[in-house]
Amino acid sequence: MSARSAAQRIRKAIAVVNAVVDGAGDEEITPTEIAEAIRDCLEMAELAAVPNVRKYLGEALDATSDGMPADFVAMTLYAALGALQEGLPS
Amino acid sequence: MRSAEGRGRTLDEAVDSALIELGETRRNVDVRVVRESSDETVVEVTVMEAPDAAGESPVNGKAETVRTLLEGLLKHMGVRASVQVRVGSDPITLDVTGRDLGALIGWRGETLRALQSVTNVMVGKHLNEGERVIVDVERYRQRREHTVREIALRAARQVKMTGDAITLDAMQAFERRAIHLALEGDPDVTSSSIGEDPDRRVVVGPRKPADA
């Protein structure tokens, strides 16, 4: 799996959280689904080589389990996405 | 607030006629569709008033606190921009304006969305439970909402003509929300969403008798 698809997976998790925050009114998203999307990101082996990405993803997962506001989870996922982009070879 | 009614064969024509009467551009107005039929569309166009020149706007203390916090955040980011509270907005909406703020909007509004998340985390303790702040940069969000609303109305017209459902492009939750709201009062069409984020799409289809 490439770094690009890793970013896509994190973006997917962010989109799920943002859907909760923005309340489109066309889907019911549970914390379990958010946690699942974050776990999907954590499973990506190539992220081990990029500093901080797994740390932020872990924090986002903890925040979801702790019932933290969706904005906080989203912010932490953005941090993971930023760390991934910073850590990629240019 | 100044407003004017516009009429035309299409939504664009109706909006344009109201804009000419007001002497305004699309960027500074809010559009509400009053009536739409196959031969005429009627809209109400309202000019969004900017805070007065003295910088004093009729916003509450909470909004002012939030505004100051966002201004501080932007300053730390090295972004030269001014932040104003949109008058009469509920939830509190902060308008960020300045030069070359494209980077603050980012790809498909991603950076703007991140900025909004960070802002809400920062200001959370000043807000009531469930209350949120909307951040808009150069009215990007508002313009995008207008665009998707126009897409929705166009799709609805086509559905009424052909009787076939239309699947729109993948959209963010706030855009899908704008579409559902634009079509909720239409007795002939219905909107629903399919797929998973970030590829979730709105489907506009004919309303069945049982849905009415």
Domain ranges, ordered by start, for chain A:
3-87
Residues 6+ apart with CB under 8 A from A32: none
Greatest extent of chain A over all pairs of C-alpha atoms, in Å: 40
Structure confidence at residue A62 as a pLDDT band (50, 70, 90): very high
Structural domain contains residue B54: no
* CA–CA separation, A60 and A52 (whole Å): 12
Q: Which of A15, A24, A71 sits opposite B117 (nearest CB)?
A: A71
The answer as to whether B56 is a domain residue is no
Position B53 confidence tier, pLDDT thresholds 50, 70, 90 = very low
pLDDT at B54 over 50: no
A74 with B117: Cβ contact below 8 A: yes
Phi, psi of B35 (to 5 degrees): -150, 145
Tens-place pLDDT, residues A32-60 = 999 999 999 999 988 888 889 999 999 99
| Helix, coil or strand: residue B167 | strand
Residue B41 domain-assigned? yes
Touching check for B172 and chain A: CB below 8 Å?
yes
What pLDDT band is residue A90 in, cutting at 50, 70 and 90? low
Residue ending a domain, among B86, B118, B138, is B138
The size of chain A, in residues, is 90
| Residue from A71, A72, A77, A84 to probe the interface with B (highest B Cβ count within 10 Å) | A71
CB contact under 8 A, B124 and A71: yes
Q: How many C-beta atoms surround the C-beta of residue B184 within 10 A? A: 11
Query: What is the domain-level CATH number for residue B127?
Result: 3.30.300.20
- Helices in chain B by DSSP H: which ranges? 11-22, 61-76, 102-105, 110-123, 140-162, 173-183
Confidence of residue B211 (pLDDT cuts 50, 70, 90): low
Contact between B176 and B200 (Cβ < 8 Å):
yes
Same domain? B118 vs B178: no
Distance in angstroms (rounded) separating the CA atoms of residues B180 and B153: 11
Nearest CA in chain B to A81: B114
In sequence order, the 6+-apart residues with CB closer than 8 A to the CB of A58 are A42
| Record: contact B121-A16, CB cut-off 8 A | no
Q: What is the pLDDT of residue B210?
A: 63
Q: How confident is the model at residue B56 (pLDDT cuts 50, 70, 90)?
A: very low
What interface predicted TM-score (ipTM) does this complex get?
Answer: 0.85
B153 Cβ partners below 8 Å, 6+ apart?
B11, B33, B36, B182, B183
pLDDT average, residue stretch B98-102:
90
Identity of the residue in B110, B121, B132 whose CB atom sits nearest the CB atom of A75? B121
The tokens for B204 are: 């506009």
Instruction: Count CA atoms closer than 13 A to B5's CA, side-chain side.
Output: 6
Encoding tokens for residue A1? 């799996």
The label of the residue with tokens 């389990």 reads A65
Residue B95: CB atoms within 10 A of its CB come to: 24
Number of folded domains in chain B? Answer: 3
Residues found in chain B: 212
Same domain for B40 and B18, yes or no, is yes
Q: Are residues B77 and B35 in the same domain?
A: no
Q: Based on the domain organization, do B152 and B165 belong to the same domain?
A: yes
B6 — phi, psi (to 5°)?
Answer: -125, 140
Q: Which domain holds residue B133?
A: 61-138
CATH of the domain at B165: 3.30.1370.50
- Mean pLDDT, chain B, rounded, equals 87
Query: Contact at 8 Å (CB) between B204 and B155?
Result: yes
Q: Tell me, yes or no, whether B109 and B153 share the same domain.
A: no
Residue tagged 């005429």 (tokens): B40
Q: Is the pLDDT of residue B161 over 50?
A: yes
Same domain? B144 vs B111:
no
- B25 Cβ partners below 8 Å, 6+ apart? B19
**Calpha distance B172→B195 (Å, rounded):** 12
Domain spanning A3-87: CATH superfamily: tRNA modification GTPase MnmE domain 2 (1.20.120.430)
How confident is the model over A5-26, as pLDDT tens digits? 889 999 999 999 998 888 877 8
Q: From chain B, pick out residues whose CB is under 8 angstroms from the CB of A11.
A: 110, 198
Residues 6 or more apart in contact with residue B23 via CB below 8 angstroms: none
User: If you average pLDDT over residues A49-78, what whole number do you get?
Assistant: 94
Q: Is B137 in a helix, a strand, or coil?
A: strand
Residues B30 and B84 in one domain: no
- To the question of pTM greater than 0.90 for the whole model, the response is no
Identity of residue B35: R
